[in-house]
Structure 1
Amino acid sequence: MRVKRYVVDEVPEALPIIRSELGKDAVILNTKEIYVGGFLGLFRKKKMEVIAAVETNAPGVRNVPQNPLPVLAKPPGAAAAVAEAAPPPPLPQAAGMQRQQVARSAAAAVPADPEEVSPADQPSRDHAQAAPVRESAARSSARFTVDQDAVLEEIRQMKAMMAKLARSSELDAEPAALGKLRQRLAEQDVEQEWIELLVDKIKAHPGYNPETGEEAIWEIAAELLREWVNPGEPAGIRDGTRVVHVVGPTGVGKTTTIAKLAAEQVLRSKRKVGFITSDTYRIAAVDQLRTYANILNVPMEVVFSPLELARAFKQLEDRDIIFMDTAGRNFRNDLYVSEVNSLIQRDEDCDTFLVLSLTGKTRDLEAVASRFVAYGVTKVIYTKRDETDAIGSVLNLAMQHHLKAAYVTTGQNVPDDIEPFRSDRYVAQLLGAQGDD
């Protein structure tokens, strides 16, 4: 076995050197940290010592014989004999005797093996000798993998620590207003990623400098936030929309929200409204929507599968707009999402709203939103605004999934406790103002 020691800055640096010198079958036996150089124990540099080895019969490694045959000494006067004319060739009998002497000399130079090994036994003997080497190589390889993972993890931790220290030094140099802004957004459950992005955008804003006052900083923040959450176009029910699908998890208030939207269409827009419900899983869900249908004096159809949709739309073909309620299920299950998606119409005059409760955790809301966004849902209605003070999830979902907030509900009263989403009002509330203007 050939063993060699390498000293490098990082373990990965030794790998190409080992392969080039010892071949592709080389294995690393050990790695450890060492310190080299310096003066009187100071200013020493940290290095990695790598011990590698390869079997001497491995491909790519030259195998030098342990006991090479001795070179026969030239007889005295050989040089002179070369210079002279070549003598006539010896007799065949003399040549044969000379070859026998050379063979006997070579046999005497090779030490006898104490154990006679037959050609048939040689492979098994080589295998037995190589087994400990292979076991040692396997253990060394496993140890190297563990050591390399530990080194990489240490590097990641050091990078994180350096980034934290750099961020800490930046925070020390920031105006106090930015610290207050960070704290306010964190209290509103805005994710740290978007807080840091907002602060970076504020620092890059033309109106910012380290002496900028608190009021000016918060005005810049409000301006940026309005751009982020503003859908750029009305996200409510469009003119000419004929079918409105309402989807979302259980318990967020989908049926009550449908009643509020329908009442607005009946009482304010004077449109003829119809209801379709596929929520046949929840007890009394059909009766709840039927109650609202009776109050508003609008027809309602119940469907149990996508095959019955054509019949329901045929019954409501004289309606200006149709609201379709869907079952609230555990939409972390992709099967349920696919089931609801099969009920959604894709025509241009159709629209779909995802209903989410502001009282839910951002992580749970994102889990549901990500599944519906995959099916093309882009509009959301936020319910139960009156039941929470933390509204950062609206910003989180707008940034993460580009969801456009369409409506916000603020209570149980039908049809009063619903309003179109306004980015200026939302940002004012997010930053701590009442936002009642």
Structure 2
Amino acid sequence: MRVKRYVVNALPEAVSLIRSELGNDAVILNTKEIKIGGFMGMFRKKKMEVIAAIESKHANTPAKQPKAASKPDSDFGQMIQNAQRASTAVLNPSPPKPSAAHNVDREQHILDEIRNLKEYMTKLSNQRTDLAGMSDEIWQLKEHLIEQEMAPQWVDRLIQSISEKQSEERTNYSKDQVWEHAASQLKEWLKPYGNSGISGEARIVHFVGPTGVGKTTTIAKLAAEQTIKHGKKVGFITSDTYRIAAVDQLRTYANILNVPLEVVFSPMDLPKAFNQLAERELLYMDTAGRNFRSELHVSEVNSLLQSSEPKETILVLSVTGKTKDMAAVAEHFSKYGVKKVLFTKLDETSVYGAIFNLIMDFDLYPTYMASGQTVPDDIERFRAESYIQHLLGSKSL
């Protein structure tokens, strides 16, 4: 692409020069008023700076009849083509059309295309500036967070926060200092979501989530904690009748813990199950794992969660899942008021950014983090410090 700068008295003068030097396919990228000349800052003259460009294959070629546009290689290519057509219309105005409204729409379209191109180029310029001013230590942190699959908007905010502190202190942070500031900022952001846990007032706790995330094992871990450590009378309810193995697994845990189990096949079976477990202080309900990216399946499960007694619903997600899929599940359940989440299988991955994304993007309150299959040991209350160590590395705190 050939880019040329013109300093003229007025825009029409630039249009004439652009047409004669670059041709009718040239694109006007930017225009602004500048002051030049003078003596010691005085008596400066106002001029117009115009930046124009043309693709190399069109440079200094005579105007041709318009042809069908070829498919651009990228969004930027499409933007260039659109801007070329827009600028060609400016440089070679066509005869007025019969419809005034059509002319207004056409002119607005031209302006929109040029503005979009300018915004895109400004964004690229800002990105280059940001990279140029970023220290190696901060750049290493950014790369690490990207590898951890933290969402770009949160990576950028964190990097900006650290860069601003470094500028204020007029110093260059070491790697340890960069990591320490990152841990401190992350802890501050997570502070409103700490110490949420499972409500002690809830008698019925529902566990929902996709298949394979470890709901049944998680229920057994929590039940063991309540019965062994706190001496509570716990009861199990399962509606996961889609998988016979799931019922058998929960029944095995129920027998080991000496906890009664009720199986329900529909919402109509729930009153009977509650009646059978009336003497139990705490009821844990396992639900079927489904494709919860479908809101229909979420709605079906939600119909099983209705009760007049104090209750709470916990969304169970495995950190080994795809971030996009987990976000879709969280979005659907959040529509039904599910605000608490429990993360499993932390021992099966080294990527933890999705946890932060889900908490911040969907305003979810983390309750527990589970790893491994050992009942009841492989589960702990969510602590921001522990999580940040997973995210940034054990030396971050």
TM-score (norm: length of structure 2): 0.73
For 1:301 and 1:346, locate their aligned partners in 2 and report how far apart those are by CA, in whole Å.
Answer: 16
Shift of 1:201: 2.5
What's the counterpart of residue 320 of structure 1? 281
For 1:227 and 1:185, locate their aligned partners in 2 and report how far apart those are by CA, in whole Å.
Answer: 17
Which of the residues 12, 16, 22 maps onto 1:36?
A: 16
For 1:311 and 1:44, locate their aligned partners in 2 and report how far apart those are by CA, in whole Å.
Answer: 79
SS state of the match for residue 315, structure 2?
strand
Asked if the contact 2:206–2:313 (Cα under 8 Å) also holds between the matched residues in 1, the reply is yes
Asked if the contact 2:318–2:343 (Cα under 8 Å) also holds between the matched residues in 1, the reply is yes
Q: Which has the larger radius of gyration?
A: 1
For 2:277 and 2:167, locate their aligned partners in 1 and report how far apart those are by CA, in whole Å.
Answer: 56
SS state of the match for residue 343, structure 2?
strand
Which of the residues 122, 128, 133 maps onto 1:173?
A: 133
For 2:190 and 2:275, locate their aligned partners in 1 and report how far apart those are by CA, in whole Å.
Answer: 39
Asked if the contact 2:366–2:382 (Cα under 8 Å) also holds between the matched residues in 1, the reply is yes
The amino acid of 1:165's aligned partner reads: S
What's the counterpart of residue 430 of structure 1? 391
Asked if the contact 1:37–1:44 (Cα under 8 Å) also holds between the matched residues in 2, the reply is no
Shift of 1:181: 1.1
Asked if the contact 2:368–2:382 (Cα under 8 Å) also holds between the matched residues in 1, the reply is yes
What's the counterpart of residue 96 of structure 2? 53
SS state of the match for residue 284, structure 1?
helix
Which of the residues 167, 170, 177 maps onto 1:216?
A: 177
Shift of 1:164: 2.1
Cα pair distance change 1:39/1:342, threshold 3 Å: closer
What's the counterpart of residue 6 of structure 2? none
What's the counterpart of residue 56 of structure 2? none
TM-score (norm: length of structure 1): 0.66
The amino acid of 1:35's aligned partner reads: V
For 1:334 and 1:150, locate their aligned partners in 2 and report how far apart those are by CA, in whole Å.
Answer: 41
Asked if the contact 2:194–2:383 (Cα under 8 Å) also holds between the matched residues in 1, the reply is no
Asked if the contact 1:266–1:272 (Cα under 8 Å) also holds between the matched residues in 2, the reply is yes
For 2:377 and 2:167, locate their aligned partners in 1 and report how far apart those are by CA, in whole Å.
Answer: 41
Unaligned runs of 5+ in 1: 1-33, 61-140
Spell out, residue by residue over 1:313-358, the C-alpha distance to the aligned partner (whole angstroms, 9 max, x if none): 1111111100000010001111110011111136573111111111
The amino acid of 1:408's aligned partner reads: M
1:257 is aligned to 2:237: no
What's the counterpart of residue 295 of structure 1? 256
1:337 is aligned to 2:298: yes
Cα pair distance change 1:434/1:356, threshold 3 Å: farther
Cα pair distance change 1:230/1:348, threshold 3 Å: farther
Cα pair distance change 1:180/1:54, threshold 3 Å: closer
SS state of the match for residue 328, structure 1?
coil
Which of the residues 148, 152, 170 maps onto 1:192?
A: 152
Shift of 1:434: 5.6
Shift of 1:52: 3.8
Work out the number of aligned pairs and report it: 319
Asked if the contact 1:381–1:408 (Cα under 8 Å) also holds between the matched residues in 2, the reply is yes
Unaligned runs of 5+ in 2: 1-13, 23-48, 53-86
Root-mean-square deviation (Å): 3.0
Percent of aligned pairs sharing the same letter? 46
For 2:162 and 2:335, locate their aligned partners in 1 and report how far apart those are by CA, in whole Å.
Answer: 32
What's the counterpart of residue 267 of structure 2? 306
Shift of 1:158: 4.1
Spell out, residue by residue over 1:255-307, the C-alpha distance to the aligned partner (whole angstroms, 9 max, x if none): 11111111111111110000011111123221111111111111111111112
Cα pair distance change 1:208/1:266, threshold 3 Å: farther
